[in-house]
Amino acid sequence: MCSSPSGSITHLTEMSGKLVIAVILALQVTVSLCTAPDPDKDLVEKYTALRDSFYKRMTLYFGKAKTALVPLAEHIPHSDKAKEYVEDLQGRTEVQAAVKIGSGVAGEMAPMVDKARTAALGLYGEHIRPWAGTYLDQLITSGKAFLDILLPIDE
């Protein structure tokens, strides 16, 4: 311990300097972690193709399920009351306002979701794909082949 006042000031100045350097280094690490690398073009194309294929399957099979369930629903007791209730809900201004707000929020969120997706694909491409990419590609390829048998897109 320094007994003189000038020694304690020097000690505080050294500590402040070390603290400033530590804060600057921490900020640099934080900023470098926040900037995600851009994904490879082939990775984005592969992701887009898989996503579109998934949406196409879901749209096709939800449509088929709806077509199959509508005749069954007509035979359920009180189905007319449920249908009237749904039609009444769709006509209410509160529900229409909620739908408008929801669609507006979804429209505003689309750029953020796209940015998050791009960042996730970039991080995957840089950190995970080098050591797990071939395994995941094989898993996706075999899963897609299974889905092509179970839920074919082209009919």
- Region 72-89: mean pLDDT is 76
Q: pTM of the prediction?
A: 0.61
Return the pLDDT at 26.
75
Q: Which of 2, 46, 62, 33 is nearest to 137 (CA)?
A: 46
- Region 127-149: mean pLDDT is 91
Res 78 pLDDT > 90: no
Q: Which of 133, 116, 134, 143 is nearest to 57 (CA)?
A: 143
Tokens 């491409």, residue located: 125
Q: Which helix (H) or strand (E) holds 124?
A: none
Q: Residues 11-41: pLDDT tens digits?
A: 556 667 677 777 777 777 666 556 778 899 9
8, 95 contact by CB (below 8 A): no
